[in-house]
Amino acid sequence: MIKELNAAGYTYAYEPAKEGNALTLLLLHGTGGDHTSFIGLGRLVSPGAALIALKGNVNENGNLRFFRRHGEGVYDMDDLAMRTLRLADAIPELLAEHGRDPAMVVGIGYSNGANLLGNLVFERPGSLAGAVLMHPLLPYEPPMRDLSGKPVLITYGRRDPVTSTEHVEEIISRLRERRADVTADLMEAGHEVRDPELKAVAKWLKAFGKGDPEES
């Protein structure tokens, strides 16, 4: 049963962990999705984890997003910066609300949600213990901060018309330049999420829980 709650300026769906599972997933949907649908992805990739699925707080012609844009691929950079800091400030309150350990929280974002989480990793890396970025974009040159050991999984599609392989591989390069522990998984897919991608995320999360995310 989905519990819809409000805290730290967000509406979100919450499911508690099962059998003392220490892992918490912070889930951010893509444009047009919502918190109630994306929590299902969390169940698939880590059935026992605590799930906090945020609802996008920007409405673009009826589609929920996490930051504003001026048009397709033209982002409002001031809004992205503001909402990145707002999310960073909200995470400790969201975790405290449910008694969850900050050292075991992994953000999972898809498309627009991945873009906000990716920005968070570069700008406020201490906000998450790890991150899964599914089909991300990075609309600017990120700051040169030390991300040593930060576990990050990036999944992307070879035929993705929204996030090209070249662009995603630039993000991977930027993360590795900053010494993040990056696993990159290129899928035979477009912008959609298919079963092999979910299995790759589940495998990475299982390794994260054991303290040894795989690197590729």
Angle, alpha carbons 87-162-38 (nearest 5°): 45
**How many whole angstroms separate alpha carbon 27 and alpha carbon 39?**
7
Among 76, 164, 167, 191, the one annotated catalytic = 191
- Tell me, yes or no, if 127 is annotated catalytic: no
Among 29, 35, 46, 111, the one annotated catalytic = 111
**How many whole angstroms separate alpha carbon 129 and alpha carbon 23?**
10
Q: What angle separates helix 195-210 from helix 35-45, to the nearest 10 degrees? A: 70
Positive/negative CA dihedral, 108, 204, 106, 153: negative
- Tell me, yes or no, if 191 is annotated catalytic: yes
Q: How far is CA 151 from CA 13, 51, 74, 198, in A?
A: 25, 19, 29, 17
Among 29, 46, 135, 160, the one annotated catalytic = 160
Q: How far is CA 16 from CA 72, 95, 98, 109, 122, in A?
A: 36, 11, 8, 19, 29
CA nearest 52: which of 4, 86, 20, 89?
Answer: 4
- Tell me, yes or no, if 216 is annotated catalytic: no
Paired residues of 157 in beta bridges: 187
Reduced to 3 states (helix: H, G, I; strand: E, B; else coil), residue 94 is: helix
The residues annotated with a catalytic role in the active site are 111, 160, 191
